[in-house]
């Protein structure tokens, strides 16, 4: 009886070392192995595609942030150029004979002439 157990252990060990057990397992579960490899391949493909989309989104966000900063900078420059003191200085540099009004603007009424 001990000899049968020893031969079974020996044959099991021989099958493991020889690769027969592994080949039998692969033959029995071949479809499941193919299915697992297919699912793994699909996951890799979809992950790659998702990463590309995320990288594009990051580039677009960076571009939007840069354009927003440029827009704010231009808006600040425009506000500085439109200040009355800046306009007055430019008029003086041009040598024009204009003076800054000290009165509040009023409403001008124009009478329409009917034909």
**DSSP symbols for 23-83:** HHHHHHTHHHHHHHHHHHHHHHHHHHHHHHHHHHHHHHHHHHHHHHHHHHHHHHHHHHHTS
Instruction: Please report how the helices 2-18 and 20-28 are oriented relative to each other, as an axis angle in degrees rounded to 10.
Output: 70
Q: How confident is the model at residue 80 (pLDDT cuts 50, 70, 90)?
A: confident
Mean pLDDT in residue range 26-45: 91
Least confident segment among 6-10, 15-19, 56-60: 6-10
Average pLDDT over residues 9-38: 79
The conformational region for residue 32 under phi > 0 = left, psi -120 to 50 = alpha, else beta, is: alpha
Percent of the chain, pLDDT > 90?
A: 36
User: Is residue 111 over pLDDT 80?
Assistant: yes
Give the closest residue to 87 by CA, choosing from 103, 102, 76, 99. Answer: 99
pLDDT value at position 22?
75
Rounded to whole angstroms, how far apart are CA atoms 22 and 29? Answer: 11
């Amino acid at each position: 009886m001990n000899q049968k157990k020893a031969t079974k252990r020996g044959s099991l060990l021989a099958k493991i070392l020889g690769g027969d057990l592994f080949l039998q397992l692969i033959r029995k579960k071949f479809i499941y192995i193919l299915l697992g490899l297919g699912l793994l391949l699909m996951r890799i493909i979809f992950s790659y595609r998702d990463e590309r989309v995320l990288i594009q989104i990051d580039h677009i966000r960076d571009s939007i942030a840069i354009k927003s900063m440029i827009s704010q900078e231009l808006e600040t420059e425009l506000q500085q150029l439109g200040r009355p003191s800046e306009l007055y200085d430019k008029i003086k540099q041009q040598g024009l004979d204009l003076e800054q009004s000290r009165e509040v603007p009023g409403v001008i009424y124009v009478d329409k002439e009917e034909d």
